[in-house]
A and B are shown apart, each in its own frame.
Chain A
Amino acid sequence: MRSYPELRPVRWDALAVLAVLALAAASALLLWRAPAETGAVTAVISADGEERERIDLTALSPTTITVESRGYTLHVLLSEEEVRVTESDCPTQDCVHTGAIHGSGQSIVCLPARVTVRLEGGAPADGPDLVIG
């Protein structure tokens, strides 16, 4: 035995747990900020790192979009309230199991097809509040 490990939890382990928790909390704060208050949300569908569609969900009646990538076909259902992958022929089905997403910042990932569906918040952060002319 090169070095025999301590087999019972020690005080320092709590530090490791706390560090992971802190990292989780920090990343949650950073990545899960509350959606913009203007309900306007845009769904961005990318495949293989390339943006395929950008759909404004404001007042959108339910629409299904087919995304083909890497030999797989995903059916994405978009409406004003939510976005979900209803059908996919990928082996893992994670994208379908993820269910509906509705807030800006949320996303659905399909690894086999290399597809992401991502909701972008309200008016773009650097967009105008109003336009003159």
Chain B
Amino acid sequence: MKLTTRQLTLCAMLTAMALALSYLENFFPLSAAIPIPGIKLGLANIVTVFALYALGPGQAMLILLARCVLGAVFAGNLNALLFSLLGGVTAMGTMILLSRSRRFSVYGVSIGGAAAHQCGQVAAAVLALGNTAPCYYLPVLLGVSLLTGALTGLVSACLFQALAHTGLTRI
């Protein structure tokens, strides 16, 4: 993939923002309310949704991979890589399909992405733990993904509205 300097800069900025959002998320621990291992708001998904529309699937995927790898390195926890990669890639795949269909609004796309993210995480947990115990949480995680997906959808919608008048997203 050949990137212009402008694109590269934008990707780097978005990656940094995604990482910052992941960090910010720690201050709103959803797992305190719902004690399920690995449950998160998924704020970094806002960046993914934005990149998907603004930059296209290729660069969005690039940002995602960079975010996962760097996140794992910063956290010093390579175990987390499996979880974020499986969750992230599943979510990305689903969102690409949903946005390509051109039928769903940004809400539908991010809800689909959030649900897929949870499925991917559960799959990663099953792989890591070597048994199917994590599946027990799947129904709750899917329910929660409706809310977190709607939240990221809302933030993304606001973001696009705000940026519509700027030239930032015009590549």
Direct contact, A vs B (beta carbon within 8 Å): yes
Smallest Cβ-Cβ distance to B112: which chain A residue: A16
Interface residues on B, range: 35 or more
Query: A3, A98, A107: which contacts B35 (Cβ < 8 A)?
Result: A98
Q: Is A35 an interface residue (CB 8 A)?
A: no
Q: Is B6 an interface residue (CB 8 A)?
A: no
Main secondary structure, interface of B, reads helix
**Which chain A residues lie closer than 8 Å to B72 at the CB level?**
none
Q: Is the CB of A16 within 8 A of B106?
A: no
Minimum C-beta distance from B128 to chain A (A): 6
Interface residues on A, range: 35 or more
22 contacts across the A-B interface (CB closer than 8 A): A1-B171, A2-B56, A4-B160, A4-B164, A6-B104, A6-B105, A7-B105, A9-B108, A13-B105, A16-B108, A16-B111, A16-B112, A27-B142, A31-B135, A31-B138, A46-B131, A94-B37, A94-B38, A97-B35, A107-B134, A111-B79, A114-B128
Top 10 nearest A-B pairs (CB, nearest first) are A49-B130, A97-B35, A13-B108, A28-B139, A24-B142, A116-B133, A6-B105, A107-B133, A16-B108, A94-B37
Q: A8-B157, A16-B111, A46-B129 provided; 8 other pairs, C-beta below 8 A?
A: A4-B164, A5-B160, A13-B108, A16-B107, A21-B142, A94-B35, A97-B31, A117-B133
